[in-house]
Amino acid sequence: MKPTCPLCGAASVEDFHHDKRRRYLRCNICALVYADPASHLSPEEEKARYDLHENDPDDPGYRQFLRRLADPLTERLAEMPGRRPLRGLDFGSGPGPTLTIIMEERGFTMAIYDPYFAPDPAVLDRHYDFVTCTETLEHFYTPAREWQLLLSLVKPGGRLGIMTGLLEDAGSFGTWYYKEEETHVCFFSRATFHYLAARDGLGVEFIGKDVILLQIPGADACGIEDPEDTAPRRCPQDCPDPR
């Protein structure tokens, strides 16, 4: 069966790179590079890798790393109209949800979701003024589904803040450290985000080499009081396990 892109669904996919462990393909439409699904780890293997992560909220270096997203996102959120405090969701929060703590210290109300460490599907039935997704996008096994879920979680006019390693030079992919982690299966570039922004009507801004800020259309609606802040997801399938 001819492969199709797991992000945009295009059939225009070609071999991109091979190494001793995996085969990688590239979409000619959205520019996503992705590992052959045959090489994906099992949920048990994946969880075992994540258990080795040392994401300590008290680690100044880790906090400084996350500020690369937190600082510009906070500046953009300060410009949003409507009620306060703004409410956010840290999607893929991991075993030590440090970004959540940073944002709470700045006066935001936060919720967390992680399929392994905070698997509460109820938080996916709400809408948020902003959603953060740090070092998570590259782990998605079905990125089309998970991308739609992320968009569905953000209120009109809200913000989606992403941190992921951007593939800047296709020629150096073979030596790129970011692909060596076996749980990294999707590799985005600026071209990929430009494609998604144009297709989905999003504003997009790049901060440094790995931070992407997107704005959902409909700024006038953001911050309006909603008694429940709940609505059916726009995700095409229920996906409480976003891998």
Give the domains, in start order, of the chain with CATH numbers: 41-163+191-221 (3.40.50.150)
How many angstroms separate the Cα of 226 from the Cα of each of 106, 129, 155, 214, 222?
A: 23, 11, 10, 22, 10
Write the burial class of residue 74 (CB in 10 Å: 0-12 exposed, 13-18 middle, 19+ buried).
Answer: middle
- Say if residue 226's pLDDT is above 60: no
First-to-final CA distance of the chain: 23
Tokens in use for 188? 């985005």
The answer on pLDDT for 242 being more than 80 is no
Q: pTM value?
A: 0.89
Distance of CA 154 to the CA centre of its chain: 12
Q: Which residue has the higher pLDDT, 188 or 227?
A: 188
One-letter amino acid at 88 equals G
In the numeric block, which tokens belong to residue 168?
């800047």
Q: Average pLDDT, stretch 206-210?
A: 96
- Helix/strand/coil percentages in the chain, nearest 5: 35, 25, 45
Judge whether residue 230 has pLDDT over 70: no
The pLDDT of 56-77, averaged and rounded, is 94
Query: Coil, strand, or helix at residue 201?
Result: coil
Q: How many angstroms separate the CA atoms of 204 and 212, rounded?
A: 7
Residue 144 near residue 32 (C-beta atoms within 8 A): no
Report the C-alpha gap between 6 and 209 in whole angstroms.
Answer: 24
Question: Using N-to-C axis directions, what is the helix angle for 98-105 and 60-78, rounded to 10°?
Answer: 50
pLDDT-derived band at 132, boundaries 50, 70, 90: very high
Beta strand segments in 23-116, E: 23-27, 33-35, 87-91, 109-113
Provide mean pLDDT across the span 151-160. Answer: 97
Which tokens go with 186? 């999707």
- Residue 110 near residue 161, CB atoms below 8 Å: no
13-46 pLDDT, tens per residue?
999 999 999 999 999 999 999 999 999 999 999 9
Of the listed ranges 182-196, 208-222, 228-242, the one predicted with least confidence: 228-242
The enclosing H or E element of 75 equals helix 60-78
Quickly count helices (H) and strands (E) in the chain: 5, 10
